[in-house]
Structure 1
Amino acid sequence: MTVTVSSNQFVPRDAHKLALLKTRAPTYQLRDLEFVQADGSVSRGVYFSQPKAEATVFYLLGSGVRLDASGAFFLTPFADMNLNVIAFDYRSFGRSDATTAKHGLKEIETDTLVLYDYARGLVQGRLIVHGHSFGSFVAANLAEQRPLDGVVLEGTGTDPKTYAQNLTPWFAKPFVSYKLDGDVAQVDNRRSLQNIQFPILIIAGKRDTTTPEATARVLFDELKQSKKSFISVDAGHMDAMLFPETKAAYGAFLSEVTSAK
């Protein structure tokens, strides 16, 4: 057997690098954003926009996702739907920096409240909050704190314990117990969203093993809001926004947002 070795095996590429948006969405412009938090930490992000966009999305990233490596992947579907996007890397990750060692959920939620207010000041018209995976928990907390135009939760669930259980192989579950530590012990999307008065869309993937469709459905069924919608597509955890059915549901959701105002 002969094994061919080349330098490409040792030099990784970011397949969805942010710079690729110049070719994938030629009518859009990328503007760098920088915001100094109260503790001196610096949140950095982008404003992905074109003048004739229908609305703007305030996008909250999943865990481990950063703008420069994956921006072209998660921003392009919004360009397909004629939507602007504002997104920031979380503190101490990607473009963003932190002046303190603390960078847990509490700090991220505090940062996000201020960043949302900043984004609201930049945008005329509708501003939709969209949280993916971990970002869906941050989005739910924001929805509890602010009167939003609408909120989208993609690859979401009910609480961190259920999230952790989903990541544990079935054969190991009888031998594993879970202890919720610190700020995550208080997190529950059902509680955060119980009193919201604005439209909500939940997006689930039938092949999603990280946040399974069934978990997202439990959250949806317990929402009291009448202006709620649910879409499930044959996707995994990361690619639901690529499906035409999802984009169609998003369009219907935007119509709901318009009629609610």
Structure 2
Amino acid sequence: MQDSQKLWLIRTLFVGMSVLCGCMTHVSEQTSESGHSAVDEPQAASGRRRFFSAVSSSAAATQKASDSASQQVAQNSPDDLFLFQPAKFPTGNWQPARLQYSDEWIDVDKEKIHAWYCPVDPEQRRACLLYCHGNAGNISYLAAYLAALQKAKIAVLAFDYRGYGKSEGKPSKDGILRDASAARTRFATLAGVTEDEIVLMGRSLGGAVAVQLASQKQSRGLILESTFASYSETAAFHFPKLAWLVPKDKLNSVETIQAYHGPLLQSHGDADRVIPYEFGQKLFRAANEPKKFVTIPRGDHNDPQSGEYFLAFSRFIDELP
């Protein structure tokens, strides 16, 4: 299917989902004080009038949004819209507590990429870690975690992909990989180390980014949390009838990771409903030694890591070459 046909199909899906979500919102707003929805009232005709009124008003309200979505499809490859869910930085005078950091702005493709550099005294530093976050998030979500890493004497640079947080531009596969590569280069300069001395860490989508980086240039270590083997496989799991929209080589980590030869620590929840546990295991099997896999019992995609994992994490850092 040509990109123009994909564009039309995705625009239709955007409009349809927007109208449906709008209808659900309008109908839910009709909930009575007793807690029963308007569509549960005995007067079925009244419920139908409310529903079709919601359809009409939602269609009008979402037209502007669908036009915006169409513009985004035109500027990005169609399958990128299924992959990326940017989350902007919190508004207002927002600063993380208990975190020593500096704002860094990295020029990539005429866009400015935002990052936090969280330094540690080089004489006490255990490692330098580049953090690649997951989808639908930004570095502000990581403040407490970054503070904990810094307290553990691990220097970190966490960055937002283009279109996420305060970073400019619109996300694409090639674009976010260039962002990550530029972030690693800046980190090496700031920390006074070479790029191959940096540990790469990624969660979910960020894990795929970290794998790509590790395959391009050797790193001191690689840490993956809740990461997919390939994006097309994950898309097929959730949307089997739409998976053909995603190219097979779109962030195919299970093949890319074979080019990495270094220590690997990987974790995955065995109850993950976003990226199934077996997808993480498949990625791990494809990786070279030395490697260690930690299962998070009953862990869903966004559940906290286990005590066993944090012990393995600390040991992994201390045993790095």
Q: By the TM > 0.5 criterion, same fold? A: yes
Residue correspondence of structure 1 range 185-224 to structure 2 within 5 A: 185-223=249-287
Which residue of structure 1 aligns with residue 112 of structure 2?
42
TM-score, L = length of structure 2: 0.64
Local SS of the residue matching 2:184: helix
Contact 2:268/2:294 (8 A) holds in 1: yes
Q: What is the Cα-based RMSD across aligned positions, in Å?
A: 2.5
Letter in 1 for 2:302: M
Opposite residue 128 of structure 1, the aligned amino acid is: V
Distance in 2, Cα, partners of 1:18 & 1:53:
28
Task: Give unmatched runs, 5+ long, in structure 1.
Answer: 4-13, 23-27
| Equivalent residue number for residue 115 of structure 1 | 183
Percentage identity across paired residues of the two chains:
22
Is residue 238 of structure 2 the alignment partner of residue 167 of structure 1? yes
TM-score (norm 1): 0.78
What's 1:6 paired with?
none
Deviations along 1:12-49, one digit per CA (max 9) or x if unpaired, are xx7xx973432xxxxx4111111111x21001110123
- Counterpart among 139, 147, 164 of residue 210 in structure 2: 139
Q: Deviations over 1:37-62 (max 9, x none)?
A: 1x210011101233233212100011
Q: Of 94, 97, 101, which aligns to 1:21?
A: 97
Structure 2 letter corresponding to 1:244: G
**Are residue 149 (structure 1) and residue 149 (structure 2) matched?**
no
The structure that is helix-richer by fraction is: 2
Larger Rg: 2
Distance 1:131 1:71 in 2: 12
Question: Structure 2 stretches of 5 or more lacking a match?
Answer: 1-32, 36-89
Distance 1:161 1:220, change over 3 A: same
2:292 to 219, 229, 253: 229
Distance between the aligned counterparts of 2:144 and 2:244, measured in 1?
34
